[in-house]
Amino acid sequence: SMLPAWWKEAVFYQIYPRSFQDSNGDGIGDLPGIIDRLDYLQELGITAVWLSPIYDSPNDDMGYDIRNYQKIMAEFGTMADFDRLRDGLHARGMKLIMDLVVNHTSDEHPWFQKALADPSGPFGQYYFLRPGQPDTPPNNWTSFFSGSAWRWFPEQQLWGLHLFSPKQMDLNWSYPPVRDAVCHMVNWWLDRGVDGFRLDVINYIAKNPGLPAGDPLIGQLMGFTGVEEYFYGRHLHEYLRELQERSFTPHHAFSVGETPGIGMQMSKLLTGDYRHELDMVFDFDVLETPGHVRWDDYRYDLNYLRDYLADYQDHYGSHYWQALFIENHDNPRMISKANPDPQYRIAIAKLLAVIELTLRGTPFIFQGQELGRVNAQFHNIRDFQDVESINKYHELLAAGQTEQAALAVLLAGSRDHARTPMPWDTTPHGGFTTGTPWLAGDDDYRQYNAYSEMANPRSVWSTYRHLIKLRQANPVLVYGATDTVDRRRNAWSYIRRDDDHQPIQVLINLSARQKRMTIPAGGSLLYRNYPAHDGRFKAYEARVYRLPE
């Protein structure tokens, strides 16, 4: 609803801890490193932090394969470090949300170990373990990380379901003790003072009873078979309400769901303020121009970004609240997708900042986005660390592609583009580590890094800071209505308005070609991404004006 809430006014910042700041030279970012950078976040204007997983994990999927939910990953630090981080954030008035990965656990989690050791015992039903023959998996579902979604355990003569890597075993949410265990764990973290969660692939938790075969036609279209049997499963709403009632509501905790494939209508069903399920969801339709998948080497059309966002501004309605994002740790950098020509890099970076920080909804900024990061220069399969990329590469080779062609696919879509070390300054490895980074970056940090950009009033960083402050000083940018006033090809202009404040108008040229735009009469300029000039809008030019009452 239009009722105020801290999470509606927040500006979130996603930290991928492994790549944020290393404090001890082992090449891996850690919690003390994050603590050292809290002033940086505060300076930028951030009011809430989402931490990608920091739990004990064998790191088959970089922490999204959890071995112990109540222990900190040794490379990242200790529970005492965590408490200091929480206190450091709260002392600065910032909220902390954690990543909640409960669609699956690591195969090294004690629950799974116990399930394997005694399949008919108390943990046997925690997962999807099925008897069978080693050459015939229980159904045709495929994994998001290549191959069948079923792993054969020869010793037990059992199949186990994994939608992601074979070391990420899916939990069986239809078994009540699983839901008890999850609520218990969530309450433990909430009692420890965290303010909420980002819920990993939370729309996948409810597999349709009986695990029906996927439609091969849908599988062909999507590239994955079986998705329609669990991406919006029969009992999904029930499970979310239970989590809300037993954990989130009693703790006044915030929740944002990661919900691939959901779209606007199902987003409403998951987040309506009258439904008591989630507060917000990430709708991934924003990430690719229709007809494309992440691995395609193509130009993302910013006219699509406009259409997608304008649709939400117009039709999401007052009982729902949008999570605004354009990047995260699972996707290449948006600037590179929109136009990789370096002459437009800064203008596009600032244009994206204008869009994300002046629309209705809650912005989530991914680390490095505020510096205008672009895709990394990888040269060799050995430069990649991500299990998804490495599997994809081998899948392509097995299908007969050349090494060069397979590498090109990775360069277009690899998640590692988002996971290179955060560039802090001009020292080696951008000051991320004094050692060797776990994932090599390139030389980009020499020009684009936090230290240099903070000192430059015309940098991308300074744009983010300015626009964040502008949003925080102008409630109309948070709660106001959005009226689209220009939607010609390559143009976008909208006015944010409410009853109590002067309206604010945004004008954007979505293309590299000059564009004639109509400047509002009597408007006072609040921001522009080019130095002052008369005439048509330059490539990717964006401006913000305050309008007379």
Contact string 150-189 vs ligand ISL (x = CB under 6 A):
--------------x-------------------------
- By CB under 5 A, what part of segment 8-37 binds Ca ion? 22, 24, 26, 28, 30
Q: Compute CA distances 212 → 151, 164, 233, 464, whole Å.
A: 17, 18, 11, 47
Q: How far is the CB of 417 from ligand ISL (least distance, A)?
A: 13
Q: Is 201 in the site for ligand ISL (CB under 6 A)?
A: yes
Alpha carbons 33 and 85: distance in angstroms, whole number: 10
Tokens (6 digits) for 298: 């193509």
| Annotation says 258 is catalytic | yes
201 binds, among Ca ion, ligand ISL, none (CB under 5 to 8 A by kind): ligand ISL
Closest CA to 514 of 492, 490, 532: 490
Say which of 56, 65, 195, 258 is annotated catalytic. 258
Percent helix, strand and coil across the chain, each to the nearest 5: 35, 15, 45
CB atoms closer than 10 angstroms to residue 311? 13
The amino acid at 40: Y
Q: Which of 7, 64, 344, 366 binds ligand ISL (CB under 6 A)?
A: 64
Q: Is 61 in the site for ligand ISL (CB under 6 A)?
A: yes
Q: Longest C-alpha distance within the chain, in Å? A: 77
292 vs 466 by CB, closer to ligand ISL: 292
260 binds, among Ca ion, ligand ISL, none (CB under 5 to 8 A by kind): ligand ISL
Strand stretches in 299-373, DSSP E? 323-324, 362-366
164 binds, among Ca ion, ligand ISL, none (CB under 5 to 8 A by kind): ligand ISL
Say which of 65, 200, 383, 416 is annotated catalytic. 200
Q: Which residues of 218-252 are buried (b: 16+ CB within 10 A; e: fewer)?
A: ebeebebbbbbbbbbbeebbebbebbbebbbeebe
24 binds, among Ca ion, ligand ISL, none (CB under 5 to 8 A by kind): Ca ion
The amino acid at 477: L
Q: How far is the CB of 516 from ligand ISL (least distance, A)?
A: 39
| Annotation says 356 is catalytic | no
Contacts with 520 (C-beta within 8 Å, 6 or more apart), sequence order:
505, 545, 547
Q: Which of 75, 229, 330, 383 binds ligand ISL (CB under 6 A)?
A: 330
Q: Which of 200, 283, 327, 416 binds ligand ISL (CB under 6 A)?
A: 200
Q: Compute CA distances 161 → 105, 169, 180, whole Å.
A: 11, 6, 21
By CB under 6 A, name the binding residues for ligand ISL.
61, 64, 101, 144, 164, 200-201, 258, 260, 329-330
Q: List residues near Ca ion by CB under 5 A.
A: 22, 24, 26, 28, 30
Active site residues: 200, 258
